[in-house]
Amino acid sequence: MNFSSWPLVLVVDVEGNGTNPPDLIEVAALPVREGRPDTGTAGAWLTRPRRPVTPFAARIHGLTNERLEKAPGWEAIANQVHTFLGVSWICAHNAHVDYKVLSAHLPQWQPTGVLDTLRLARATYPDLAKYSLDALIEHAAPDLSEAPAQRHRATFDAYATAQLLIAMANRYESWDQLVAAAVPPGLPGAPEPEQEPTLW
């Protein structure tokens, strides 16, 4: 894979407050440049939700209401997040979820395309029993020694997803092949289905 041919890809991860639909409490966006996660230019934001973090959600990611009490509300950081994401490609694990939540919070935002490492993993490793982020970390054994925070925090999960994306991308010859395997139908960047030729 020639990584220099890639457009800018931001690996994103979001954490929510546990309600349905969720309020965002953490967003991470990690650029992949020349086949490496670029932590030096990554974006990460904590935000105080409108509704309290549920006890279940707090147990998973460790972000409690007390921890977020002095964080800015979403309205205070939305423009900053929108500007950072721009029109770049994004990548996430089970990308439908992150794309849906981000789109709900940033109604004017539209990425050029959406790569999904869950879809890509099913194409790349067809014989795995599970395709959760933990299962893929165990299978691919990416180097997570420089990952920030810990599992289930947006910054860690974005870093782990970036390393998995890079590892799987090396099994494809071109960006177009990667897109064909990794972009779910109906999401931005999905290849157009080939049209049946007609007489007219």
pLDDT in tens, 14-73: 999 999 999 999 999 999 999 999 999 999 999 999 999 999 999 999 999 999 999 999
pLDDT band for position 98 (cuts 50, 70, 90): very high
The answer to whether residues 122 and 190 touch, using CB atoms and an 8 Å cutoff, is: no
Of 164, 153, 91, 96, nearest in space to 125 by CA: 164
Residue 197 has pLDDT above 90, yes or no: no
pLDDT value at residue 192: 75
Nearest to 38 by CA among 81, 68, 8: 8
Q: For residue range 69-91, what is the model confidence (pLDDT) as tens digits?
A: 999 999 999 999 999 999 999 99
Place of tokens 């990425």: 111
Given a contact cutoff of 8 angstroms between Cβ atoms, the answer to whether 191 and 181 are in contact is no
pLDDT value at residue 194: 57
Question: Does 198 score more than 70 pLDDT?
Answer: no
pLDDT reading at 199 higher than 80: no
Q: Would you tell me the crossing angle of helices 133-140 and 154-169 to the nearest 10 degrees? A: 50
State the pTM of this model. 0.93
Q: Quote the pLDDT of residue 191.
A: 81
Average pLDDT over residues 99-113: 97
User: Which of these, 14, 18, 47, lies nearest to 30 by C-alpha position?
Assistant: 14
Q: What is the pLDDT of residues 108-146, one digit of tens each?
A: 999 999 999 999 999 999 999 999 999 999 999 999 999
Q: Do 23 and 32 meet the contact criterion of CB atoms below 8 Å apart?
A: no
Question: Average pLDDT for residues 99-104, to the nearest whole number?
Answer: 97
Is the pLDDT assigned to residue 189 strictly greater than 60?
yes
Q: What is the pLDDT of residues 137-175, one digit of tens each?
A: 999 999 999 999 999 999 999 999 999 999 999 999 999
Beta strand 36-37 with 89-92 is unpaired
- C-alpha pair distances (Å), 47 with each of 38, 71, 80, 93: 23, 5, 12, 21
Q: What CA–CA distance (Å, rounded) separates 114 from 96?
A: 9
pLDDT at 55: 96
